[in-house]
Amino acid sequence: MRNFPAFLNASPSSFHAAAEVSNMLTGFRQQDETQPWDASPGGHYLIRGGAIVAWWIPESPRHAFRIVGSHTDSPGFMLKPTPEATVAHWQQAQVEVYGSPILASWFDRELQFAGRIVLRDGTETLVATPPAFRIPHLAIHLSRENNLTLDKQQHMQPIFAAREGAGGVLDLLAGAVGVDKHDIAAWDLITRDAQPARVFGMEDAYIAAGRLDNLSSVYASARAFVQATADATDILVLACFDHEEIGSATTSGAAGPLLQDVLTRTAYALGADEDALRRMYARSSCVSADAAHAVHPNYVQKYDPATGAQMNAGPVLKINANQRYATTAPTSALWLRACAAADVPVQRFVSRNDVPCGSTIGPITATRLGIPTVDVGVPLLSMHSARELAGVRDMEWFTSALHAYFVD
């Protein structure tokens, strides 16, 4: 995991994460979706917004897909089309809540905006501003009960300058990429804690960073995918979607057509008809890779006592009777075989009956395509915080298990 902190630091937004994954795909050919599909042996990929899908076609594929899906986005605050306002002589960036961040975790941190800007001529450019923003907390002297109720509209707007005329958000964006601010037409920009990812703790056992949900899965699956290409017999697919935190219902999300487009066009380019495509789906499988919950020692009452996950004890098999996770008995066995082949320990997570769990891309993919799917991930603490916590050993084990799934 030596390069994982560098990957996190270089991926402040979903758009940056997709670009960083593409940098890992040495020798892969980028597919233009407007052109005929390339199904020649070897590696291919496409980027659609903040999502990237890569696929590897062996010399003699067995006409089945092995898919690992994850997501590149994380909760935060998106910059509004009207990017700033002045309140009490402070210039403030105007933001809209994205997903479900732990609001209090964003206070009193040096923040930057990152993502993409689109110029008036249609050119898209990745951008990350300097750490010029901050959401200040109210002093305890003015809230003696220390139980301030946070209002998403009133209390979460970052400050960036104490006087008017000091330059605005567009000046920062233009300066970061070297364009005239008047040429900036639109943007998709989200906050990121500017503190770098850090490996720390006794024996360097942990990693603290923002966006571990779900860049922990993106990085582990991308590494496993690249390593597995040397031994692949099925068609390997790496799908890193955007917009999971807001329901996935976009052109670059798991509920959109992206994965189905790649699978269908690949199969047709290999000579399959509609029936052959369905037979390929029936022989295929999918791993939905998304972060899991580690047991919090200060809130053990929030976890099922029989199925709590520990940090640095192995990747987690996520199970839910109401199919908030896509795991079934057969796909559980599939994951257990991969972990056994990689000599990796397995943990199981089931939510308490009175504490509902979230969901993942797993049920969406399984429902859209009918491909058997299993939900897995590394355990985290502080999920959806501006700065989350993961175990270094879990990341290593997770990568090994995903590699075994691709080639076993």
Task: Report the share of the chain in percent with pLDDT over 90.
Answer: 93
Residues 189 and 220 in one domain: no
Confidence at residue 254, expressed as pLDDT on a 0 to 100 scale: 97
Residues 149 and 246 in one domain: no
pLDDT-based confidence at residue 399 (cuts at 50, 70, 90):
very high
Neighbours of 57 (CB within 10 A): 21
Spatial separation of the C-alpha atoms in residues 241 and 259, rounded to whole Å? 9
For residue 385, being part of any structural domain is answered with: yes
Mean pLDDT across the stretch 108-112? 98
Domain with 232 in it: what CATH number? 3.40.630.10
Q: Is the pLDDT of residue 49 over 70?
A: yes
Spatial separation of the C-alpha atoms in residues 401 and 220, rounded to whole Å? 10
For residue 205, being part of any structural domain is answered with: no
Residues 214 and 264 in one domain: yes
Residues 39 and 180 in one domain: no
Quote the number of domains for the chain.
2
Residues 55 and 81 in one domain: no
| Cut 0.95: pTM above it | yes
Spatial separation of the C-alpha atoms in residues 265 and 40, rounded to whole Å? 12
Confidence at residue 143, expressed as pLDDT on a 0 to 100 scale: 81
Spatial separation of the C-alpha atoms in residues 374 and 220, rounded to whole Å? 16
Q: Which of 159, 193, 227 is the last residue of a domain?
A: 193
Contact 51, 240 (CB under 8 A): yes
The rounded mean pLDDT for the chain is 96
Q: Is the pLDDT of residue 198 over 90?
A: yes
Domain that holds residue 336: 4-74+210-407
Domain with 130 in it: what CATH number? 2.30.250.10
Four-CA torsion 96, 102, 105, 111, nearest 10 degrees: -30
Residues 89 and 102 in one domain: yes
Mean pLDDT across the stretch 222-235? 96
**Beta-bridge partner residues of 85:** 92
pLDDT for 353-375, tens place per residue? 999 888 999 999 999 999 999 99
Residues 50 and 80 in one domain: no
